[in-house]
Amino acid sequence: MSLDQTDRRILKVLQRQGRISNAELSEAVNLSQSACHRRVHRLEQDGYIREYVALLDARKMAVPTTVFVEISLSGQAEDVLGAFEKAVSRIPDVLECHLMAGSADYLLKVVAENTDDFARIHRQYLSRLPGVVRMQSSFALRTVFKTTALPV
């Protein structure tokens, strides 16, 4: 299925206001409520809309510190990558894990209360990950820009 301009307008609104009612959404994109509902359902069925989530405030959740961790593994064999990915997916403080091209094999986005809490996460989890030969952590000083909205 290809997206037309109306589908794109629906997706733009939903990315910013996931809890908007169908009546409000249909008004925002200039469609009847029934046509809007059908389109949203189709976008969900076709996988354009994967899920609906609540975005929590990291400060209020007491994890305001973001740390990016570059990890290099001992090799690129499938079993090494698989073991690492399985283990890292179990760490509750890791929000994202990306297989990279470049100097590091993986880039992790980790949240923590503060530097002491990150030290605990490092000791308890990161240092025990299988296949790791090098790890470099960079603390974010300030988030300049952050969005979950994809360009539509």
Q: 1-15 pLDDT, tens per residue?
A: 799 999 999 999 999
Other Cβ atoms closer than 10 A to 70: 17
Architecture of domain 5-45: Orthogonal Bundle (1.10)
| Share of residues in the chain with pLDDT > 90 (%) | 99
Kindly tell me if the per-residue pLDDT of 41 is higher than 80.
Answer: yes
Same topology, domains 5-45 and 65-139? Answer is: no
**Are residues 14 and 20 in contact, defined by beta-carbon separation less than 8 angstroms?**
yes
Does the domain at residues 65-139 carry the CATH identifier 3.30.70.920?
Answer: yes
**Are residues 43 and 11 in contact, defined by beta-carbon separation less than 8 angstroms?**
yes
Residue 72 makes CB contacts below 8 A (sequence gap 6+) with: 103, 104, 105, 132, 133, 134, 135
CA dihedral 61, 21, 41, 33 (to 10 degrees): -170
**pLDDT of 80-113, one tens digit each?**
999 999 999 999 999 999 999 999 999 999 999 9
Q: pTM for the whole thing?
A: 0.91
Structure tokens at 146: 């952050």
Q: Please report the pLDDT score of residue 141 as a whole number.
A: 97
Average per-residue pLDDT in the chain? 97
Residue 127 — very low, low, confident or very high, per pLDDT cuts 50/70/90? very high
Cα 58 to its chain centre, rounded Å, is: 14
Using only the alpha carbons of the chain, give its radius of gyration: 20
Instruction: Write down the domain spans for the chain.
Output: 5-45, 65-139
- Average pLDDT of the residues in 115-134: 98
| Share of residues in the chain with pLDDT > 70 (%) | 100
